[in-house]
A and B are shown apart, each in its own frame.
Chain A
Amino acid sequence: MKLTLSFTFLSLAIFSFIIPSHVSSSSLPSVSFVGIPPQDEDYFKDEVIKCKNGSKKFTKTQLNDDFCDCPDGTDEPGTSACPQGKFYCRNAGHSSSLLFSSRVNDGICDCCDGSDEYDGKVKCPNTCWEAGKAAREKLKKKIEMYHEGVALRKQEIEQAKQAIARDKAELLGLKNEKEVLEKVVKQLEEQIQKLKQRELLEKEDKIKEASNEKIENEKSGPEENVDGQIEPLKISDVEKMGLSGESPSDQSEKDENESTEGLSREELGRLIASRWTGKKTGDQVEEIDPAKSDHMGNRDKEESAYESSYDEHIDNNALQFNEKTQKHQEKGRKDARDAEDEESVAEDREKSSGSSSSEVVGKRIICMVLLISYINCFLFDFLISSDIATLSHQSWLVKIQETAQNFLQSVNLFSAPVANLDANQVRKEYDNYTAKLSDIELRISSLTEKFKYDFGREKEFYLFYDRCFESKQDKYVYKVCPFKDAIQEEGSSETRLGNWEKFGNSYRMMMFSNGDGCWNGPDRSLKVKLRCGLQTELTGVDEPSRCEYVALMYAPALCLEEKLKELKQKLESMNREQSWSHDEL
């Protein structure tokens, strides 16, 4: 092995003397091995050689004769003659590499051993030794980091496993509870039915009273309606549209025409500019001005003061104008969207109100009030927080069943007449239990929802759920919440960069899509590239194309054992190469 290698080294040297004259008609077979990887040399031993894709044959004199015979470049590994050719640099002291044939003798040193430039036009210093050393150092550090990372990853996977077990147990428990509660609720429901039937038989005036009450309730009903705030808005929307006698398209066109005439010269300039910038003028101001302020430090203070006040003056004008037109335009779009979603919006609202955290708090308050009831609130709290493992679960369930049973018995369903107090009690209890049931259902659905996600091959991303990672960059704070969404915050304003879509690139990327729309551009989206790191952190958010963001995130979850092995192997082979070249030297 050592022999052949030094042989190629020698042949290289000879070759470099022969090649410079382009007219070199025939080359010695021995010198023609340039650009061939050592493991491939046997392939070129015969007098007649096949192109690797089998399309043709060529003779040994045609090997590296600076004329392309094989479409795949087999015959010209050491020259630039075939576009498909690959040049092997040995790079003793560093790691070997394959170059495009376009790099051979192009006057630019590509291989650290300089072997790609052998026609004498340039002299390439051999930098493999230093480069190799630096590369090995770097690799060593990386391996160390990976070692630690792999361990951390294991811990995280372990934690994830536990969390999953916990969540599963909780889910199971909740499902049982749900079953029990459903039974209880059903029984209470039956009770209420029975109570109702009994009430029907009561006196007429009582019925009248009851119905009066009902009417009053109904009157006050709409005010309590959650939708109450939305309704008038909708109506006013419709009114607005009805009132403007002309068709909306006419109107907007007219606005376009009229507005440009009424504008100040600056405003008009900004308006026209905004067509190319794709932003409304306010945005443009923002974009130019911060850059300005960034450079302010270098400038004469007086001048910058002058400038900023000057700019402020015109910016204000522009902003006002801007808001107007932007609103106008956005309104059109928003309305269009509203129409599309008209029905689903209402649904969404209900959904969201059901799941909001304020609702849970609300329930807890109700629960407090109900302290006087048979079951204590801590039970509910406990169910919600569910920090305690399954062990004690069973006993609590039993307790619920028992208390409910006791209560039902105490009311004595079969004795008549039932006192008013008892009827109220039953209703109260019924409300109480349905509330609990719905809480449990909520929790079940949120857990079930969680389990639907793909958390990686070893569920290594399970602990990312419900977590958010932030990165500050200039004036922006980027907030990435895996499995949920990604947001760009600027002061109090938020821009949604995307909703969770999926992992990509075999769990080396998180993808968020369908973010806020871009004016004249695509909806925003974010790709988070994941890399091995000892801490989970978000860095380097970037916008290579308008509204298409890319970020980098480090996390132990990405520190794969296979990759560590790979790195170790690479280091070993580098060390090997180094010791060879060391021997040769």
Chain B
Amino acid sequence: MKMKHLKVSLIFLIFLASQTVHSWKKDEFRNCNQTPFCKRARSRKPGACTLIAHDVSISDGDLTAKLIPRAPHDQDQIKPLTLSLSAYQDGIMRLKIDEDPSLDPSKKRFQVPDVVIPEFETKKLWLQSASTEKINGDDGSLSSVVYLSDGYEAVLRHDPFEVYVRDKAGKRRVISLNSHGLFDFEQLRVKKGDEDWEERFRGHTDTRPYGPQSISFDVSFYGSDFVYGIPEHATSFALKPTRGPGVEESEPYRLFNLDVFEYVHDSPFGIYGSIPFMVSHGKSGKSSGFFWLNAAEMQIDVLANGWDAEDGILMPTKQGRIDTFWMSEAGIVDTFFFVGLGPKDVVKQYMSVTGLPAMPQLFATAYHQCRWNYRDEEDVENVDSKFDEHDIPYDVLWLDIDHTDGRRYFTWDKLLFPHPDEMQRKLAAKGRHMVTIVDPHIKRDNSFHLHKDATRRGYYVKDATGKDYDGWCWPGSSSYPDMLNPEIRSWWGEKFSYENYIGSTPSLYIWNDMNEPSVFNGPEVTMPRDALHLGGVEHRELHNAYGYYFHMATADGLVKRGDGEDRPFVLSRAFFAGSQRHGAVWTGDNSADWDHLRVSVPMILTLGLTGMSFSGADVGGYFGNPEPELLVRWYQLGAYYPFFRGHAHQDTRRREPWLFGERNRELMRDAIRVRYTLLPYFYTLFREANVSGVPVLRPLWMEFPFDEAAFSNDEAFMLGNSLLVQGVYSERAKHAFVYLPAKESWYDLRTGTAYTGGEIHKLEVSEESIPAFQRAGTIVPRKDRFRRSSTQMVLDPYTLVIALNNSQAAEGELYIDDGKSFDFMHGAYIHRRFVFSNGQLTSLNMASSSLGRSRFSSDCIVERIILLGYTPGPKSALVEPGNRKAEIELGPLRLGGRGGAAVTIRKPGVRVAEDWTIKIL
């Protein structure tokens, strides 16, 4: 009997072990202790930096200096570093520190090209002079001060070396670097005798021919209570401290683009993309930002209050401060300090460096249907027709890797997809689009033209010995084009032309997956760090930007394909600073569980804050089978993601919205329809992002910077400035606690019920919807007619929903263009501002009066105006011009569904393109 028991428990253990085989493999990825540069840096003590600024002067409009060791005898070992500090318009300081090229270092350290946009250089301010001063409390040490903007100045303290930005008036610091003396710069040098530079990890050897070359330093944010940003991690929006008192053993936030199988929902480990940009925010309502342009592996510690207490370094403690510690394996110091003031200003400043988000086509902002894999043309046709059968709108059908001939991208499986162009034309006839996957791994197959071509031209990334790097990915043995090289990017882009991509049509767009790059047999499932790119650049130096260049090449290829007249759509999994210029990203292979639903919000908030406005998570969860309730909740939340796509792994059950019974089908259809009614609002927000960088989906504190209760809230988010949405993140939830910020009213989107701001509301939730509110004082444009796809909605009339504030006023905007071409860049768009006050709604033109060479017009009318917070009574309104009367009645807030009623102006019939007023009589 005992024996049997033992056996059973042993078997149980085996069973458990075999279960865990599928989950995240922590030990396949290096932690900080297994990463020598990180371990070394983390063990440094505050004040360890002995560098001082020397030869400080103004040259070529920059403040320049040499960093040399304080003690003269160290100067033999440590060569001086060059420092240059520049000022740019709008309160941006750039600090560069590198090895002195005139001292002939053994290798030029890598500077990430093609990320900073060319326009940025035009914003440079030519510094004329620096003043020198002794700053109180600095032990009489000298500092050089230069102009940064009207309100701010940049300070370089000489000994010890420190750089910071302060406001002119109060001399308060905003951001500083090396205030704790943690700065370290490992200079390239000659190998000493028997020194072993190789690094080994799980059977992989990194030859590290150039030896240690890491950089680390501390950055402090003043007047701040929280820091945010530095995606991509599946964790909270406000970054939790990773070191210091009260922090359990934690890894730093890692920035290293990796294809992590079944990533966990709360971890500082790096996943698919990296943006080394951090934003701070505090009670004062002010934000500031810091960006390190460096594409090597980076590790960032957020230090808990009091982390340096023992070391007795005195820092100004009056204001709240957050210290952070940045470490990178290679590259140079090329950093940007953004002074703010407001959160939106910081984002704008960041994007004046890395570029504004691309304006998507209208269809791309609608619903996408994806699965690994829609198997053949018949399958595609069936899925497509089922959407119609159930009157569920969708815009894009996606094909994953198995549509290709043996995973050779740009080809089609001849048995499963014999008529790809006809298939696309059928979809296009319904106004729908298709997306196919094109990954960077190219099958090493001599009969594959792409491989032959790339090999012949020598366009592949090389291994450490100089041969074409051969890794393993979906097609088996594969090689990877060297996307660092603009010539190769251009060659790649050509592959998307209709002549080269046989079977592609104008309604076909592209999905870039696996571009971290993912290499199944590589160290940490990626490319070896000693692989070689153009000009002897090691992969370690640009790893985090590989996917960015690939994304860029693909997007540029699509622009070229459309003769520069068709906006590209490319979804990428890997990303880097600047990826917002090239298209959308998503949060990769998530799982069908409630935790992943929950973490999708902080992840997308973080992406938006760091420029990636067009982002989303796989609705339903990629791995595993969601219960219908979870799937419904995910659709309800996903409908508000900037990028809205259902996707699933091949092992999962089919989960198209009609497969879970009538009720669930209705709920999912309703959720998708919410998205479609809000498309005019979304599109307007995408344009706002395209112009100002302010993300579509925003943290509450971006709209309410003084509302402390909102600072760490990452279960709710703002969609533009008008809507607040909170997901339902648990099973069978009866209630949700929703914090509504500020002292304004909020109107429930479904019922129209008003809630007061500045408090947490316990709300009943039904299966029908998740909590969503319109902020008082805003106007949201909608289209309340449902079509097969967004394409057929173009001519449909608008509904305006006006949520009145206490003074019975509201404002909102509407942006419209052709939804497809680049003509909007030349003035072909409609941009209206709607203002409601004194019982009168006015439509004003916002488009610049000096319109460019093209124009856009629309015959669309407004069919309905809904007034929330308006006391019923008036029976009609006067429409001018035309001196027409429109009836006022009590109408439904939402057509066809259950919900509240509101004062409605019936058929005002005004054209959206024109100026008009509607006065309530």
A binds B: yes
Q: Could you tell me which A residues sit within 8 Å of B by CB distance? A: 22-23, 25, 65-68, 71-73, 80-84, 100, 102-103, 106-108, 121, 238, 241, 247-249, 252-253, 256-257, 260-263, 265-273, 275-278, 288, 291-292, 294-295, 298-300, 303-304, 306-307, 311, 314, 329, 331-333, 335-336, 338-339, 342, 518-522, 544-548
A265, B521: Cβ atoms closer than 8 Å:
yes
Which residues of A have CB within 8 Å of B476?
A: 266, 269, 288, 311, 314
B261, A71: Cβ atoms closer than 8 Å:
no
Chain A at the B interface: SS class: helix
In the complex the two chains form, what is the Cα distance from A266 to B521 in whole Å? 7
B473, A252: Cβ atoms closer than 8 Å:
no
Q: Would you call B309 an interface residue if the criterion is a C-beta within 8 Å of the partner chain's C-beta atoms?
A: no
**What are 14 A-to-B residue pairs whose CB atoms are below 8 Å?**
A23-B909, A71-B897, A83-B786, A108-B792, A248-B10, A249-B14, A267-B521, A270-B472, A275-B22, A288-B406, A307-B447, A332-B14, A339-B8, A546-B652
B406, A66: Cβ atoms closer than 8 Å:
no
Nearest chain B CB to A23's CB is how many angstroms away?
A: 5
Known: A333-B14, A545-B654. 19 other contacts (CB 8 A): A25-B884, A25-B907, A248-B13, A252-B14, A268-B472, A269-B471, A278-B649, A291-B415, A295-B414, A304-B447, A306-B446, A335-B11, A339-B8, A339-B12, A520-B22, A521-B652, A544-B379, A545-B652, A546-B650
Known contacts A266-B521, A303-B446, A518-B651; A71 and B473 CB within 8 A of each other: no
Known contacts A338-B11, A520-B22; A80 and B785 CB within 8 A of each other: yes
Q: Would you call B167 an interface residue if the criterion is a C-beta within 8 Å of the partner chain's C-beta atoms?
A: no
Nearest chain B CB to A267's CB is how many angstroms away?
A: 8
Which residues of A have CB within 8 Å of B15?
A: 332-333, 336
Q: What string of 1s and 0s marks CB contacts (under 8 Å) between B132-170 and chain A?
A: 000000000000000000000000000000000000000
Q: Would you call B27 an interface residue if the criterion is a C-beta within 8 Å of the partner chain's C-beta atoms?
A: yes
In the complex the two chains form, what is the Cα distance from A263 to B375 in whole Å? 33
Nearest chain B CB to A559's CB is how many angstroms away?
A: 26
Which residues of B have CB within 8 Å of A266?
A: 472, 476-477, 521
Nearest chain A CB to B108's CB is how many angstroms away?
A: 31
Q: Which of A82, A265, A292 contacts B895 (CB 8 A)?
A: A82
Which residues of B have CB within 8 Å of A303?
A: 446-447
Which residue among A22, A262, A331, A342 has the maximum number of chain B CB atoms within 10 Å of its CB?
A: A22
B521, A249: Cβ atoms closer than 8 Å:
no
The chain B residue sitting closest to A318, CB to CB, is B476
B861, A22: Cβ atoms closer than 8 Å:
yes
Which residues of B have CB within 8 Å of A545?
A: 652-654
In the complex the two chains form, what is the Cα distance from A294 to B418 in whole Å? 13
The chain B residue sitting closest to A335, CB to CB, is B11
Which residues of A have CB within 8 Å of B907?
A: 25, 65, 67
Q: Which of A22, A291, A299, A332 contacts B797 (CB 8 A)?
A: A22
Q: Which of A22, A276, A331 contacts B909 (CB 8 A)?
A: A22
A548, B654: Cβ atoms closer than 8 Å:
yes
B447, A108: Cβ atoms closer than 8 Å:
no
Q: Which of B12, B650, B787 contacts A277 (CB 8 A)?
A: B650
Q: What string of 1s and 0s marks CB contacts (under 8 Å) between B557-595 and chain A?
A: 000000000000000000000000000000001000000
Q: Would you call B202 an interface residue if the criterion is a C-beta within 8 Å of the partner chain's C-beta atoms?
A: yes
Known contacts A272-B520, A276-B649; A66 and B863 CB within 8 A of each other: yes
Nearest chain A CB to B626's CB is how many angstroms away?
A: 13
The chain A residue sitting closest to B379, CB to CB, is A544
Which residues of B have CB within 8 Å of A331?
A: 14
Q: Would you call B896 an interface residue if the criterion is a C-beta within 8 Å of the partner chain's C-beta atoms?
A: yes
A291, B406: Cβ atoms closer than 8 Å:
yes
Q: Would you call B906 an interface residue if the criterion is a C-beta within 8 Å of the partner chain's C-beta atoms?
A: yes
Q: Which of A67, A84, A256, A277 contacts B906 (CB 8 A)?
A: A67
Among residues 449 to 484 in chain B, which have CB atoms less than 8 Å away from a CB atom of chain A? 471-474, 476-477
In the complex the two chains form, what is the Cα distance from A311 to B21 in whole Å? 28
Among residues 248 to 262 in chain B, which have CB atoms less than 8 Å away from a CB atom of chain A? 261-262
Nearest chain A CB to B296's CB is how many angstroms away?
A: 24
Q: What string of 1s and 0s marks CB contacts (under 8 Å) between B405-431 and chain A?
A: 111000001110000000000000111
Which residues of B have CB within 8 Å of A295?
A: 405-406, 414-415
Nearest chain B CB to A407's CB is how many angstroms away?
A: 49
Nearest chain A CB to B829's CB is how many angstroms away?
A: 21
Nearest chain A CB to B140's CB is how many angstroms away?
A: 57
Which residues of B have CB within 8 Å of A548?
A: 653-654
The chain A residue sitting closest to B793, CB to CB, is A106
Which residues of A have CB within 8 Å of B472?
A: 265-266, 268-270, 272-273
B654, A73: Cβ atoms closer than 8 Å:
no
How many residues of B sit at the interface, in one of the four size bands? 35 or more
Q: Would you call B17 an interface residue if the criterion is a C-beta within 8 Å of the partner chain's C-beta atoms?
A: yes
Which residues of A have CB within 8 Å of B786?
A: 83, 102
In the complex the two chains form, what is the Cα distance from A238 to B521 in whole Å? 36
Nearest chain B CB to A469's CB is how many angstroms away?
A: 23
Known contacts A80-B796, A338-B11; A522 and B653 CB within 8 A of each other: yes
The chain A residue sitting closest to B18, CB to CB, is A332
Which residue among B14, B445, B472, B649 has the maximum number of chain A CB atoms within 10 Å of its CB?
A: B14
B521, A269: Cβ atoms closer than 8 Å:
yes
In the complex the two chains form, what is the Cα distance from A266 to B589 in whole Å? 24
Nearest chain B CB to A557's CB is how many angstroms away?
A: 27
Among residues 626 to 667 in chain B, which have CB atoms less than 8 Å away from a CB atom of chain A? 649-654
Which residues of A have CB within 8 Å of B796?
A: 80
A257, B27: Cβ atoms closer than 8 Å:
yes
Which residues of B have CB within 8 Å of A73?
A: 896
Q: Would you call B314 an interface residue if the criterion is a C-beta within 8 Å of the partner chain's C-beta atoms?
A: no
Which residues of B have CB within 8 Å of A272?
A: 261, 472, 520-521, 525
In the complex the two chains form, what is the Cα distance from A339 to B525 in whole Å? 37
Q: Would you call B191 an interface residue if the criterion is a C-beta within 8 Å of the partner chain's C-beta atoms?
A: no
Known contacts A23-B861, A272-B521, A272-B525; A544 and B792 CB within 8 A of each other: no
Known contacts A273-B520, A295-B405, A295-B414; A253 and B17 CB within 8 A of each other: yes
B407, A288: Cβ atoms closer than 8 Å:
yes
A238, B7: Cβ atoms closer than 8 Å:
yes
Known contacts A241-B7, A548-B653; A71 and B525 CB within 8 A of each other: no
Which residue among A66, A253, A265, A522 has the maximum number of chain B CB atoms within 10 Å of its CB?
A: A265
Which residues of A have CB within 8 Å of B414?
A: 294-295, 298
Nearest chain B CB to A509's CB is how many angstroms away?
A: 16
Q: Would you call B119 an interface residue if the criterion is a C-beta within 8 Å of the partner chain's C-beta atoms?
A: no
Q: Which of A100, A271, A291, A336 contacts B12 (CB 8 A)?
A: A336
The chain A residue sitting closest to B648, CB to CB, is A545
Which residues of A have CB within 8 Å of B795?
A: 121
Nearest chain B CB to A310's CB is how many angstroms away?
A: 9
A108, B788: Cβ atoms closer than 8 Å:
yes
In the complex the two chains form, what is the Cα distance from A248 to B589 in whole Å? 30
Q: Would you call B121 an interface residue if the criterion is a C-beta within 8 Å of the partner chain's C-beta atoms?
A: no
Q: What string of 1s and 0s marks CB contacts (under 8 Å) between B234-272 and chain A?
A: 000000000000000000000000000110000000000
A269, B473: Cβ atoms closer than 8 Å:
yes
The chain A residue sitting closest to B519, CB to CB, is A269
Which residues of A have CB within 8 Å of B28?
A: 260
Q: Which of A82, A102, A265, A298 contacts B788 (CB 8 A)?
A: A102
The chain B residue sitting closest to A543, CB to CB, is B375
The chain B residue sitting closest to A304, CB to CB, is B447
The chain A residue sitting closest to B27, CB to CB, is A257
In the complex the two chains form, what is the Cα distance from A558 to B280 in whole Å? 70
Q: Would you call B16 an interface residue if the criterion is a C-beta within 8 Å of the partner chain's C-beta atoms?
A: yes
Nearest chain B CB to A289's CB is how many angstroms away?
A: 9
Q: Which of B430, B525, B651, B906 contacts A520 (CB 8 A)?
A: B651
Which residues of B have CB within 8 Å of A546?
A: 650-653
In the complex the two chains form, what is the Cα distance from A547 to B786 in whole Å? 35
Which residues of A have CB within 8 Å of B16?
A: 249
In the complex the two chains form, what is the Cα distance from A265 to B520 in whole Å? 9
Which residue among B8, B261, B474, B787 has the maximum number of chain A CB atoms within 10 Å of its CB?
A: B787
Known contacts A83-B786, A83-B896, A336-B11; A268 and B653 CB within 8 A of each other: no
The chain A residue sitting closest to B382, CB to CB, is A544
Q: Would you call B190 an interface residue if the criterion is a C-beta within 8 Å of the partner chain's C-beta atoms?
A: no
- Top 7 nearest A-B pairs (CB, nearest first) are A269-B472, A269-B521, A261-B203, A332-B14, A272-B520, A268-B521, A269-B520
